[in-house]
Amino acid sequence: MKGKVTALLTANYDIVKIEKGTIVTPKGFSAAGLHSGVKKQRNDLGAIFCNVPASVASVYTLNKMQAAPLKVTKESIAKEKKIQAIVVNSGNANACTGKQGLEDAYAMRKAAAKKFNIPEHYAAVASTGVIGLQMPMDKILSGISQLNPEQTNESAEQFNEAIITTDLVTKSTCYQAQINGRPVTIAGSAKGSGMIKPNMATMLGFVTTDAAIESDILQLALKEVTDQTFNRITVDGDTSTNDMVTVMASGQAENELLHPSHPEWQVFVQLLRQTCEDLAKMIARDGEGATKLIEVEVKGALNDEDAGKIAKAVVGSPLVKTAVYGTDANWGRIIAAVGYSEAVIDPESIHMFVGPIQMLRDSQPLPFSEEEATAYLENHEVKFTIDLQIGEGYGKAWGCDLTYDYVRINASYRS
Which range in 73-81, 246-254, 385-393, 404-412 contacts its own copies by CB under 8 A?
A: 404-412
Nearest to 309 by CA among 200, 398, 397: 397
Q: Name which of residues 314 to 353 contact its own copies (CB under 8 A).
A: 316-319, 322-323, 325-326, 328, 330-333, 335-340, 345, 347
In the 8-state DSSP scheme, what is residue 256? Answer: P
Burial class (CB in 10 A: 0-12, 13-18, 19+), 181: exposed
Residue 96: what are its φ and ψ, rounded to 5°?
A: 55, 40
100 or 145: whose CB is closer to its own copies? 100
From the list 185, 202, 208, 275, the catalytic residue is 202
What's the one-letter identity of residue 413?
A: Y
- Angle (CA) 209 213 218, round 5°: 80
Q: How far is the CB of 72 from its own copies (least distance, A)?
A: 15
SS3 assignment, position 12 = coil
Nearest to 399 by CA among 338, 340, 341, 325: 325
360 binds its own copies (CB under 8 A): yes
Q: Name which of residues 133 to 152 contact its own copies (CB under 8 A).
A: 133-134
* Distance, first Cα to last Cα, the chain: 50
Q: How far is the CB of 58 from its own copies (least distance, A)?
A: 19
Distance, in Å, from the CA atom of 207 to the CA atom of 58, rounded to the nearest integer, reads 10
Q: Name which of residues 159 to 218 contact its own copies (CB under 8 A).
A: 194-195
241 binds its own copies (CB under 8 A): yes
Of the CA atoms within 13 Å of residue 333, those in its CB half-sphere come to 15
H or E stretch at 33: strand 29-34
171 or 321: whose CB is closer to its own copies? 321
Distance, in Å, from the CA atom of 63 to the CA atom of 194, rounded to the nearest integer, reads 15
State the number of binding residues for its own copies (CB under 8 A). 62
Q: How far is the CB of 88 from its own copies (least distance, A)?
A: 19
240 binds its own copies (CB under 8 A): yes
Nearest to 398 by CA among 384, 414, 415: 384
Strand partners, 150: 31
Mark whether 246 is an active-site residue. Answer: no
H or E stretch at 199: none
153 assigned ligand-binding residue: no
403 binds its own copies (CB under 8 A): yes
Q: Name which of residues 26 to 65 contact its own copies (CB under 8 A).
A: 62-65
Residue of the chain from 95, 218, 249, 284 that contacts its own copies (CB under 8 A)? 95
Q: Is residue 193 reached through a cis peptide bond, with omega within 30 degrees of 0 on the bond before it?
A: yes
Q: Name which of residues 96 to 115 contact its own copies (CB under 8 A).
A: 96-99
What are the binding residues for substrate? 165, 191, 202, 288, 410, 415
Applying CB under 8 A, which residues contact its own copies? 62-66, 93, 95-99, 130-134, 194-195, 236-241, 316-319, 322-323, 325-326, 328, 330-333, 335-340, 345, 347, 359-360, 363-365, 402-404, 406-408, 410-415
Binding residues: 165, 191, 202, 288, 410, 415
Give the residue numbers marked as catalytic: 202
